[in-house]
Amino acid sequence: MNKEDLSFKIKQSTDVNVRECYQCGKCTAGCPLAEHMDLRPSVIMRMLQSGDKEDEDKILRSLSIWLCLTCETCYSRCPMELDIPKIMDHLRQRSLAEGKVHHDARNIVTFHKSFLNTVERNGRLHEIGLVLDYKMHSGKLFQDITVAPGMFSRGKLSILPEQIKDKKGLSRLFKNQDKNTK
Amino acid sequence: MTGSSREYNESLLAISKAAGIELVEITDWNCCGATAAHNLNKELSVSLPARNLALAEFDGMEELVVPCAACYNRLVMTQHELNEDSNLKARIAEKLKMPLKNSIKILNVLQFLEKYFIPRLDELVKYPLTYDVACYYGCLLVRPNKVMHVERWEDPMAMDIIMQKLGANAIDWPFKTECCGAGFSVSKPEIVGELSGKIVRNAVGNGAKAIVVACPMCHSNLDMRRPAIESYLNKKVDIPVIYITQAIALAMGIAPKEAGIQRHFVPVNLTVNR
């Protein structure tokens, strides 16, 4: 493994050694979203082993890394006990940092960012705040407009967010963080 | 638990109260960051749950009952990661400015029920439930099995055993631990329709009259996202989805309203033999 290789960086950050993968394909076989993926989990593992720079770029630009739902089926079934979801987290963060997020994954990233914005603001999740923040940033203004009244009538939406008291302590956790989470 | 899964909270509190168990909230708890944090920011995905662990310790708690499966998963993963990596633990404790022993016992709702309700179910159950149900566990309560250490993680039985004890027939079916689409509920609802649709179809096909869950995300995807499911399956499906805590509440004779049964999108028409 070369120090410049993505597989080396993955090993350093996650302690998972992609070289241990012997391509049995169990991860892909059990993945609930494999058929929607441009690169399936076992293919990503093989491409990481190659150390090929073009392959690494393709992985970071893929939709697959964002479609992964972290259901942990692959990791639980892997005969080599390779923590693929952990690799996916690493790849997502790198893809975001390098500005390589796949076009069709933008809503997913926007949603995650809106989620964290809400948590940073209130300390707790506030569903209306989350959805409004997401609509603003994704431009999907009319999505789920038919669900909201049903949630209201069932008492499932609170207008005002719950706030935690120790905002200062919480904001410390958000400080000195990777800027890309904003 | 105070928003879209309000009835989970209500039913858990109702059965606990009826069984004489007092549950106390962690003072000033915060959101665990869920999928968003671990997808975008490794440190936050650990520091947010760690703050709750530290606060619970400060409150003098020895056992943490975590009804939300996502919170449970993040707390257990955090506890595990911090115990594996002492540098990370020291760094997080410094950011928190709180001591962190990191040894609190974390229970999900099934473990809580197993410990505090199963031994007393004969005494607590007044109105046995008599229908066929599909117990659906999803991902977060059972995986990764290397950390969660669930017995029979591909075919768990904890919820099935509880439902049998309530008088119901827990069917044998192969979609117990398939993923519902989880956090894509807003950003990729068509994927939720597909993954949850396959689960609902299989439960119905195996004769279930209700699906029983122990996770707020599974519930909202199978219940609130029913239109997406129906558009994937291309037909109407009316099987209700209830929380395990609501099933216990009904069997204990607690009023359906107190257990939040009326808050579901898919109407729950399960009768109790009174």
Q: What pLDDT does residue A182 have?
A: 34
> Please, which residues have CB within 8 angstroms of residue B58's CB and are 6 or more apart in sequence?
B27, B98
Q: Which residues of A touch B184 (CB under 8 A)?
A: 69, 108
Residues B58-95 pLDDT 10s: 999 999 999 999 999 999 999 999 999 999 999 999 99
Give B203's pLDDT tier (boundaries 50, 70, 90). very high
Is B44 in Cβ contact with A169 (below 8 Å)? no
| Contact indicator for A118, A125 with CB cutoff of 8 Å | yes
Contact A110 B187 (CB under 8 A): yes
- Predicted-assembly ipTM surpassing the 0.90 threshold: yes
- Among residues of chain B, what percentage have pLDDT more than 70? 99
Cβ separation A164–B30 shorter than 8 A: yes
Chain A interface disruption, residue of B39, B148, B261, most A CBs within 10 A: B39
Contact B143 A75 (CB under 8 A): yes
Tell me which of A153-157, B125-129, B225-229 is least confident.
Answer: A153-157
8 Å CB contact of A112 and B40: yes
Torsion, CA A164, CA B46, CA B196, CA A27, rounded to 10: 180
pLDDT value for B199: 98
Look at residue B65 in the predicted model and tell me its pLDDT: 97
Judge whether residue B125 has pLDDT over 80.
yes
Q: Given an 8 Å threshold on Cβ–Cβ distance, is A75 in contact with B195? A: no
Output the tens digit of pLDDT for each of chain A's 182 residues: 789 999 999 999 999 999 999 999 999 999 999 999 999 999 999 999 999 999 999 999 999 999 999 999 999 999 999 999 999 999 999 999 999 999 999 999 999 999 999 999 999 998 888 988 888 898 888 888 888 888 888 888 888 889 999 999 999 999 866 443 33
- Among candidates A111, A123, A181 on the partner chain, residue whose Cβ is nearest the Cβ of B44: A181
Instruction: Report chain A residues whose CB lies below 8 A from the CB of B263.
Output: 154-156
φ/ψ (deg, to 5) at A111:
-65, -45
d(CA B141, CA B108): 7
Token readout for B73 is 């998963």
Is the per-residue pLDDT at B200 higher than 60? yes
Task: State the Cα–Cα distance between residues A117 and A109, nearest whole angstrom.
Answer: 12
pLDDT of residue B261: 94
* Residue of chain A with shortest Cα separation from B178: A32
| CB environment B143-152: b (16+ within 10 A), e (fewer) | bbbebbebee
Lowest-pLDDT range, A70-79, B6-15, B181-190, B230-239? Answer: B181-190
Q: In what helix (H) or strand (E) does residue A129 lie, and over which residues does it extend?
A: helix A127-138
Region of poorest pLDDT, from A42-46, B126-130, B233-237: B126-130
- Please tell me which residue of chain A has the smallest CA distance to B227: A147
Task: Report helix, strand or coil for B95.
Answer: helix
- Quick check: A7 and A19 in contact, CB under 8 A? yes
The one-letter amino acid at B122: D
Q: Which of B147, B13, B3 is nearest to B74 (CA)?
A: B147
Helical ranges in chain B per DSSP H: 6-18, 34-40, 42-58, 69-84, 86-96, 109-116, 121-124, 145-148, 158-165, 189-205, 216-222, 226-233, 244-252
> Who contacts B133 (Cβ-Cβ below 8 Å, separation ≥6)?
B163, B168, B169, B170, B171, B208, B209, B210, B211, B212, B247
- Looking at the complex, report in whole angstroms how far the Cα of residue A5 sits from the nearest Cα belonging to chain B: 21
Average pLDDT, chain B: 94
**Can you tell me the mean pLDDT for B90-118?**
95
| pTM, full prediction | 0.94
Question: How deeply is A149 buried, as exposed, middle or buried, from its count of CB atoms within 10 A (0-12, 13-18, 19+)?
Answer: exposed
- In angstroms, rounded to a whole number, what is the distance separating the alpha carbons of residues A6 and A90? 10
- Please give the pLDDT value at position B113: 97
Inter-chain contact B4–A127, Cβ cutoff 8 Å? yes
B42:A93 CB<8 A: yes
Distances (CA, A) of B10 to A111, B44, B222: 28, 30, 19
Residue B107 DSSP code: E
pLDDT of residue A143: 85
d(CA B254, CA B260): 11
pLDDT band at B271 (very low <50, low <70, confident <90, very high): low
Say yes or no to pLDDT of B132 above 50.
yes
**Looking up tokens 């009768």, which residue turns up?**
B271
Q: How far apart are CA B4 and CA A152, in angstroms?
A: 10
Instruction: Provide the pLDDT for residue A181.
Output: 36
Phi and psi at B230, nearest 5°, equal -65, -35
Give the CATH fold of the B20-109 domain.
Glutathione S-transferase Yfyf (Class Pi); Chain A, domain 2 (1.20.1050)
Residues of A in contact with B224 (CB under 8 A): 147, 150-151
* A-B Cβ pairs (cutoff 8 Å, strict): 155
Q: Would you state the pLDDT for residue A180? A: 39
Task: Sort out which chain A residues have CB atoms less than 8 A from B72's CB and list them.
Answer: none
In eight-state DSSP terms, residue B18 is H
pLDDT of residue B266: 96
The rounded distance, in Å, linking the Cα atoms of A130 and B242 is 25
- For residue A103, the distance in angstroms to the closest alpha carbon of chain B comes to 13
The SS3 of residue B238 is: coil
pLDDT at residue B116, as a whole number: 95
* DSSP states along A76-98: HH-TT---HHHHHHHHHHHHHHT
Q: How is domain B120-263 classified at the CATH fold level?
A: Rossmann fold (3.40.50)
At B63 the three-state DSSP class reads strand
Element (H, E) at A64: helix A64-67
Q: How far is B234 from chain A (nearest CA, A)?
A: 20
List every span in chain B annotated with CATH 3.40.50.11810: 120-263
Sorted by where each starts, the structural domains of chain A and their CATH numbers stand as: 6-100 (1.10.1060.10), 104-181 (no CATH)
Q: Do B97 and A169 touch (CB under 8 A)?
A: yes
Predicted local confidence at residue B274, as pLDDT? 56
Query: What is the location of CATH 1.20.1050.140 in chain B?
Result: 20-109
